[in-house]
Amino acid sequence: MNCASCHGSQLQGGEGSSLIDDVWKYGSSDAEIAETIRNGVPDLGMIAWKDVLSEKEIRSLVIFMREQKQLAEKEGLLERVQPEGGVFKTEAHDFKLVQVAKSKRLLWSLDFMPDGSILTTERNGNLWLVKDGQLTGPIKETPKVWAYGQGGLLEVALHPNYEENGWIYLSFSETAKGASGGMTAVVRGRIEKGRWIDQEEIFQVPAKFYTRSGVHFGSRFVFQDGYLFFGIGDRGRREMAQDITRPNGKIHRIHEDGRIPEDNPFVGVEGAYPSIWSYGNRNPQGLDTHPVTGELWESEHGPRGGDEINKIERGVNYGWPVITHGMNYGGTPITDITEKEGMAQPALYWTPSIAVCGIDFYEGDRFPNWKYNLFATGLASEELHRLVIEEGEIVKDEIVMKNQGRIRDVASGPDGFLYVILNGGPYSGIARLEPVE
């Protein structure tokens, strides 16, 4: 109950390591495992359980993990449930899942090149080009990333006028000179003959804002009217999400070349970080604009029981950690209030959490009844949700796919199919949904 959200329902691993593979980073003896459970690895997202669980319970957990390992071996527990005939039946369309490129690597984001190939990031730092079902490359001389905890190479997106200017944008966590730890940064560059060239720095914060924490980096992109929007998570320092002098726990808006727009909400407010567009955002993991209304929508990876979908508006406070519908992963409370004046409510929240990640408005024609629906991915839940939005409100939430692996990202392809990145499961890598009559 306490461990599944990160380690998987069968302890097979998720955002936290597998506890049944007999690989023990912090020592394999009972005493060493109990010590990790007691004191956690806070900077990497493993919480300390000593104030939640008694010594007896910690001891029982060690025994339980040993048993689960034995069971997993006996029953081949990691096999997935496939729908009958491979067809997923949903309310508006039936579909099958088709592998585009198989990979066991932790792919994070993807975007489509004009020639039909796909660019995809691997969190440990590689940028790959997917051609004919294969990951090729990696692209040489991409920026050096700080691949620590949830950090590494994150978002990739082509500039909307890529065919004229060749710009490709990347976000990643990096260490910097004079800084301790890491922080999210944005660059743009071009690819020529398999190399990353012409790099320009688009967003980087001063060294004092870097932290040792390995969690909550954000950071998907949206291009709109010459602006670039992206999020940075609270970096595990939750109270900073309310502090407008700091860049973490925020959605930012900058010009595409990195300049700060004069009309940003906190420009001119003393001490405020000028690129802030909204604040009180815990860990923005998905961002997209509604294809018709232009509204900016975000998915926010919440605490336990507090995942959110938000409509992001200029200067608004989304409340983290003063208000939330969730609690700490250990089951202890964060706050007893879920709403407060001056703080926006989510358009939707999930209790229990789905471990929400990338989102995308479907814009293709292959699934006509899904046009302009918002798709949201789930990591721990291994779910793909279809959200129907009417006049700025979410009026339906349907799970269209489940149990096929952790879903990291979703994107409408130029061919009208809906693409997903799966980390694990039978289709691990890149796959797409194709309609079935």
Binding footprint of ligand HEC on the chain (CB under 6 A):
2-3, 5-7, 15-17, 19, 23-26, 33, 36-37, 41, 44-47, 49, 61, 329
CA separation for the pair 253, 261 (Å, rounded):
8
Nearer to ligand HEC, 39 or 345 (CB): 39
Nearer to ligand HEC, 28 or 82 (CB): 28
CA separation for the pair 384, 165 (Å, rounded):
34
CB of 47 to ligand HEC, least distance (A): 6
Specify the long-range contacts of residues 390-394, CB closer than 8 Å, at least 24 apart: 392/293, 392/295, 392/311, 392/347, 393/347, 394/309, 394/347, 394/348
CB of 14 to ligand HEC, least distance (A): 8
Q: Count other Cβ atoms within 10 Å, centred on residue 309.
A: 23
**Nearest-10 Cα torsion for 358, 359, 360, 362:** 120
Query: Pick from 356, 414, 364: which is nearest to 382 by CA?
Result: 356
CB of 153 to ligand HEC, least distance (A): 18
CA atoms 263, 204, 421, 381: torsion sign:
negative
The tokens describing 332, both together, are 């202890």
Nearer to ligand HEC, 23 or 87 (CB): 23
CB of 60 to ligand HEC, least distance (A): 10
Nearer to ligand HEC, 300 or 363 (CB): 300
CA 161 → CA 188, 194, 222, 256, 414, distances in Å? 13, 20, 13, 11, 15
CA atoms 323, 324, 326, 330: torsion sign:
negative
CB of 310 to ligand HEC, least distance (A): 22
CA atoms 155, 159, 165, 166: torsion sign:
positive
Burial of residue 289 (CB within 10 Å: 0-12, 13-18, 19+) is middle
Nearer to ligand HEC, 149 or 247 (CB): 149
Nearer to ligand HEC, 329 or 427 (CB): 329
- Furthest-apart CA pair in the chain: how many Å? 64
Nearer to ligand HEC, 308 or 360 (CB): 308
Burial track 134-162 (b if 16+ CB lie within 10 A, e otherwise): ebebbbeebbebbbbbbbbbbbbbbbeeb
CB of 16 to ligand HEC, least distance (A): 3
CB of 19 to ligand HEC, least distance (A): 6
CB 412 within 8 A of CB 363: yes
CB of 333 to ligand HEC, least distance (A): 16
CB of 226 to ligand HEC, least distance (A): 38
Nearer to ligand HEC, 137 or 149 (CB): 149
CA separation for the pair 251, 296 (Å, rounded):
11
CB of 248 to ligand HEC, least distance (A): 18
CA separation for the pair 70, 206 (Å, rounded):
49
Nearer to ligand HEC, 380 or 407 (CB): 380
In the numeric block, the tokens 């990333």 are attached to 145
Nearer to ligand HEC, 65 or 347 (CB): 65
